[in-house]
Structure 1
Amino acid sequence: MEDVDRIKKDLEEQTRLAEERLERLKYLQADFDNYRKWSEKEKTAIIALANENLIKDLLVILDDFDRALPSLQAEENREGMGMVYRKLLKILGEYGLIPIECVGKKFDPNLHEALCREECDREPGVILEDFGKGYQLRSKVIRPSKVKIAEHVSRKEGEENG
């Protein structure tokens, strides 16, 4: 009888140890899974940052194309240069680069940088001119558009009557 009690006691102890170790294993597995997810997220963030830096550097080339293409009206290379420019825009677009359209739209300080204002009859805050093209990389603004915005003309009482 004592042997049976001792064996039962040993079995209970071994069962408890097995359950403890199983629980520790589950925690380790969960920790490893969390680490794997964190590592994957970190890797994605590093790649995105590297892409962002490269694309920012390439924006200078896009600016050069924007300035050069209008001056090549009579040049025979204009069409080829235009093709290279469109191809570059397409490739950068596949990586998430989006030009910020702004002329005629309402000024948004998250997308635009106001360089000056002009008094006119248009609605206040409407963008009149784009001095420097802005870009977004997916949803992040990597360079705001540099713009001129409309300002309401304030007429004084004596001006209306001449």
Structure 2
Amino acid sequence: MPEIRRASVLRAPADAVWARVTTFAGINDEMRPLMRMTAPRTLREGGITTVPIGERACRSWILAGGVLPVEYDDLVIVELEDGRFLERSTMLTQRMWEHERTVAPHSEGCLVTDRVAFTPRRAIPAALTARIVGLTFEHRHRRLQRRFSGRPAD
């Protein structure tokens, strides 16, 4: 199963970053202008920290350029604690999608780490998916670094 990791040191307190990155406004800000995710109003307002653990929270459509549906994520948070979540979902193109994010205190502020593992459906080459996922999370981390005056982790 391919795995992608990206990490950034951000110059902001871990709790402030966590409060932002667990909201749909924060998630979509990281992904703009490439894409955005939809969610029901209750999830948009409450964020992922309010979803029932281990249950499908929603089908979130992923919209290229913010408008064109190209993928969906049947969003399931399987583990959640302060500073860490683990999503294990299915997607239109992925039999299994696992995204773990941690936000931990760091001497410069906090360290945000994303680990993504996946199993593509059908004949989608894993190498192509890994390239797309890697570029997407590089983009997300650049957006986080810009918002919170950060840098890539060593």
Which TM-score tier does this pair reach, normalised by the shorter chain? under 0.3
Going by fraction, where is strand more abundant, 1 or 2? 2
The one of the two structures with greater contact order (alpha-carbon pairs below 8 A, sep at least 6) is: 2
TM-score, with structure 2 as normaliser: 0.25
- Which structure has greater helix proportion? 1
Instruction: Work out which of the two has the higher radius of gyration on C-alpha atoms and give 1 or 2.
Output: 1
TM-score, structure 1 length as denominator?
Answer: 0.24
